[in-house]
Amino acid sequence: MVENNGGKQFHRRFKTGCVAFVLITVAFYACMFKGTTLDWFIEYSKLVVFIAGGVILGLTLTDGITNWKRS
């Protein structure tokens, strides 16, 4: 049986990673078809990866702290 998980949504980290992947892929194709340099794409990708990484790290930390408090 699946536990309620305190009303939290499941697969939050996975969904965040998928959104970041889609944003980076769309930006890459826009960069290629628009004819701009890859410098813009590299800087954009860094920003998306850092933001997504921060969100994933925050979710992991809060889940860990919540589970640690329960035990």
- Spell 20-45 as b/e; 16+ CB within 10 A means b: beebbeeeeeebeeeeeeeeebeebb
Q: Would you place residue 50 in the very low, low, confident or very high pLDDT band (cuts 50, 70, 90)?
A: very high
> Where does the pLDDT of residue 2 fall: very low under 50, low under 70, confident under 90, or very high at 90 and above?
very low
How large is the angle between the packed helices 12-34 and 38-70, nearest 10 degrees?
180
* CA–CA separation, 63 and 43 (whole Å): 30
Q: What is the DSSP code (8-state) at residue 69?
A: H
Average pLDDT value for the chain: 87
pTM of the model: 0.78
Indicate the pLDDT class of residue 46, thresholds 50, 70 and 90: very high
